[in-house]
Structure formats: structure tokens, C-alpha cells
Amino acid sequence: MSDLDGAVRARLATLEADGIPARIWARDHTVWRPDPAEISDRLGWLTVHEEMAGHLDEVRAFAAGCAEDGFRWAVLCGMGGSSLAPEVFRESFGPGLLDLVVLDTTHPDQILALEEAIDLERALFVVSSKSGTTIETRSQLEHFWRRAPDGRRFVAITDPGTPLAELASDRVFRRTFENPPDIGGRYSALSFFGLVPAALVGADLDALLEGARRAASACGPEVPAAENPAAVLGAWMGEGARLGRDKLTIALHGPVASLAAWVEQLVAESTGKDGTGLIPVEGEALGPPSLYGSDRLFVAAEVGEQGSIVEWLERSGHPVVRSSLREPAELGDAMLRWELATAVAGHVLGVHPFDQPDVQAAKDATDRVLASGGRTDVEAGDLAEVADSVGAGDYVAIQAFVPRNDETTSRLRSVRQRIRDHRRVATTVGFGPRFLHSTGQLHKGGPDSVVCLQVVDEPDADLDVPGRPYSFGDLLAAQAAGDLEALRGRGRRAVRVSLEELERFGW
């Protein structure tokens, strides 16, 4: 039995003795902190699937009405928790009543590319923000309102009483879905934030909520910790990080593979703080055991060719937690299990899994840049020097403030594979500014093992933000500069490069 196996068994015994799973279901904030702030009002995700069951008919009727009125596309304007679950449902279930396009960017080239790819006259705009004040989402809203100033073409998803809810009322939006306010964004997949977009793509909402009910039963308060799938996964995650295996490498397969990007946000933003945390690695193709150091913990599906690699990794001594997720209808089950597991891992690591204290640092720096007139002159840094600092146990985070499309995704995938293969370290890729609402917390608040490669470009065109003294290009540049400032302020190794420079560099 390995050290990690023993630690997990011991942790499960402690979780059982301390009644942790039952206390989580009882919404006991002392599982994580003596102070209930941002905990007692953030646990609605535990039972939101039960509440949502009573809203399925109206959600489905809303989606059907949109299709009947001739809408062909739904453009979702949202960031982080408001966009990642809808993207999973779009990728897993495919276009249904409407084709959902997730727009979680401020890059003007990507916004213009979207407008060229669809017929805006047949687009419904879904504006999704818990706070109702998210700068990217509000900027997108004003841009599309100028294009189509008709409230019947807009729907809002937000908490009650937010500025977005008020604006939606003033402009007579087609519909405003007010979400239960006791749910944080990254835990909101099975609330209106996830289910309304899911209905628009024709997802099986009954199956999603039935899956959540199965997970709630299998991981319920009366289930012993050692038989509770979420507690077991959380124990592996937490103890893995405590023993140095903090690179949680997620390799799913088939139509549900996109869930890994949602898990990345959930785990990174929930655990990456106080100098500790898990580094979720998604989108990194599995390779032979020799490519990996002793800092990996794999969660992987044994499917097809990947199945033989998973077995190879395990035989070589790498810890592997097998994923049974196969079909889109199982996503509700998987999402609730991961949420519970992440809450357990937060307890194991001694961190508060429902706040995001370091996200604000980049936002504040962005505001300072915009207030100064948009000056974004920053020192790029020395790529060779930063690359030479990469050592065992580190990870390389590529932070790409470029359009997210098939070409850039493919090019960045090639770069990260070269880095992994040559340096034998974990790699991640995040597109800016969307990663600021997920892994951005981990980069600044998590372990000091991150090496940040910020990739920037010069947009081919620009768009002004209606009602603001800056453009989308200005906002994007300020976000990149602000994040680089925040990273360096935390002592992180960070360099700015172009994509071409990154590709030419000999890793």
C-alpha cells in the first residue's frame, strides 16, 4: 500500500469520526471556518436540484417559445460559473432548439468573428451574471443592445435585485430568471444559470436532475465516508495535494470530455488559496508514465486507447481514480459529486472553498489601468530566464489573451505538449479574460509553483464599449496588464510573449 493509499484510508476514517459528510449536508459552516461569512449563504447548491424540479416546465416552455419565434442562435454573455456549465451542456448534448454560442471574452476579434458567423437578426442574447455587475458581461450586453435594442431578444439570469435585474426590467427583457441567491457562481450548474442554457440546446433536463438526485442519495448524510463516492474522491484530492500530488490531471472521454473544463474552474477557484490548493490539469493528452513526475494524481476514464494508458500509468505507480462518466445524461450526477468532493477537499486542505479572495486583485489592477487612461506599458520579462526556472513540482500556466478558436487552441495545445514532454511538468492553458474568473484565483493564491506565460496579440480591429470611455481592445489590454501586475505583486514568475515567440522557443 502506497503512502497516499494509507493517507486516504486514514482521512476517510477521520471524516467518518468527525461526521464531515453529514455536517456538510446540515450546512454546518464550521466544517471549514468558525465564521459563517460566505459559507452559510453559499450552500444552496446542495439541494438546488430539488428546487429546480418545480421549474422545469417553465424553463422548457421558455426555450420552446424562443424556437417558435424564429430564434436560431442563443449568444450567452457570461463569465466563469455563468458560462462554463452552459458550454459543457452545448458540447455534450449538441445544438438543439437553438445553437448556443458562449461568448466569454473581451477580445474584439472574437466578438467580430461571432457576428460574422451567425445571423444576428435571429439571435437571442442570454445575459448571465450572479452579481449583475460583471464588467465583461455588461460590456457585451451594451454592445449587443446597440446592435439590437429590443428587449424581446434578451433574457437575463441573475440574483434577485441586482443591477442587471433592474436593467432587464427597465428594458423589458423577454424574461428574467432570478436564481436562488445562496449559490456561488462555480456551484451554479444545476440552477437557472445552467438549466436555462441547457434547455435552449435541448438537453434532457429530467435526466440531469435525476442524476443529481442519485448523487445526493449515493453521497448522502447517512452513507459511511468510505462508501461515499464524493468523500472518497475528496479525500484523494486533499491528501494527494498534502503529499505533493497536487496536479489533478483530468482525462475524460467522448461527449462528456468538456466537463473537465468545468471541473478545472470548480477545483482551482475553490481550493487555490492560502498558498495551497489543487492544480487541475485538463486538456493535456495522456502520455506514457515516463513523462510525469511524482506530483500527479489522475482522474481518468478507461475508454478505448486511453484505457491502456490508464492501466500503464497505474502499473507504473501513478495514482489513478477511475471515472465512470460516459454519457451526457450522467452529467447531473457527476456535477453534484464533484461539488461535494471539492467541498470535502477544501476541508482536508483547511481552506475556504466558497470565496475567491485573490480574484479581486486582478480586477482592481484592471480598474487602475483603465482609470489611468488605458496605459498598458509593461515589462515583458525574459522568456529564457523564466523557462530556466522551471523545476520539478512546478507547472506552466499559459494565459492566452488571444481569440479562442480552433487555430489558436491547436497551436497552444502543441506548445503545451512540447513543454510537458521536454520539462516533465504539468501544463495548463487558459484564455483571457475568462480564466481570470477560474484559475486566476489559483495562480495568485495557490502554491508558489506556477510559471505564467502571458500570451498577447494586437487585435486586427476594435469596438468601442457603449457608454464607456474605453473600447473592448482597451479593456482586454487592461485586463492582461492588470493580471500581470497582480501576479508579479505576489512574486510569481511571469513573462509576456506573443504566440509566435512562444512557438519558436526551444523548450
Same domain, 407 and 495: yes
Domain count, the chain: 3
**If we measure between CA atoms, which residue out of 429, 135, 417 comes closest to residue 288?**
417
Q: For residues 374 and 321, state if they share a domain.
A: no
Domain boundary among the residues 349, 381, 407 is at 349
Residue 310 Cα distances to 114, 299, 313, 320, angstroms: 38, 9, 5, 7
How is 222-284 classified by DSSP, letter by letter? TS-GGG-HHHHHHHHHHHHHHTT--EEEEE--GGGTTHHHHHHHHHHHHH-BTTB--EEEES-
User: Could you tell me which of 237, 226, 319 has the C-alpha nearest to residue 12?
Assistant: 226
State which amino acid sits at residue 172.
Answer: V
Q: Which domain holds residue 306?
A: 13-27+222-349
pLDDT in the model for residue 374 = 65
- 128 with 194, same domain: the answer is yes
**Boundary of a domain, candidates 307, 325, 349:** 349
What pLDDT is stored for residue 361 in this prediction? 81
pTM more than 0.85: yes
The whole-number pLDDT of residue 303 equals 87
| Assigned domain for 407 exists | yes
Task: Please check whether residue 213 lies inside any domain of the structure.
Answer: no
Mark whether 285 and 419 lie in a shared domain: no
Kindly state whether residues 322 and 402 are assigned to the same domain. no
Residue 362's pLDDT is: 83
User: Could you tell me the CATH number of the domain that includes residue 455?
Assistant: 3.40.50.10490
Residue 39 domain-assigned?
Answer: no
For residue 216, is it within any domain? no
The reported pLDDT for the residue numbered 305 is 82
Whether residue 276 sits in one domain with residue 180: no
Query: Do residues 372 and 487 share a domain?
Result: yes
Predicted local confidence at residue 201, as pLDDT: 96
Q: Residue-wise pLDDT tens for the chain (507 aa)?
A: 689 999 999 999 999 999 999 999 999 999 999 999 999 999 999 999 999 999 999 999 999 999 999 999 999 999 999 999 999 999 999 888 999 999 999 999 999 999 999 999 999 999 999 999 999 999 999 999 999 999 999 999 999 999 999 999 999 999 999 999 999 999 999 999 999 999 999 999 999 999 999 999 999 999 999 999 999 999 999 999 999 999 999 999 999 999 999 999 999 999 999 999 999 999 999 999 999 999 999 999 988 889 999 999 999 999 999 999 999 999 999 999 999 999 999 999 999 999 999 988 888 888 888 888 766 778 999 999 999 999 999 999 999 999 999 999 999 999 999 999 999 999 999 999 999 999 999 999 999 999 999 999 999 999 999 999 999 999 999 999 999 999 999 999 999 999 999 999 999
**How far is residue 412 from each of residues 52, 91, 197, 283, 405, measured CA to CA in Å?**
39, 20, 28, 11, 11
Instruction: Look at residue 119 and tell me if it is in a domain.
Output: yes
Calculate the CA dihedral of residues 364, 442, 280, 39 and round it to 10 degrees. -90
Largest CA distance in the chain: 64
Domain-terminating residue out of 301, 318, 349: 349
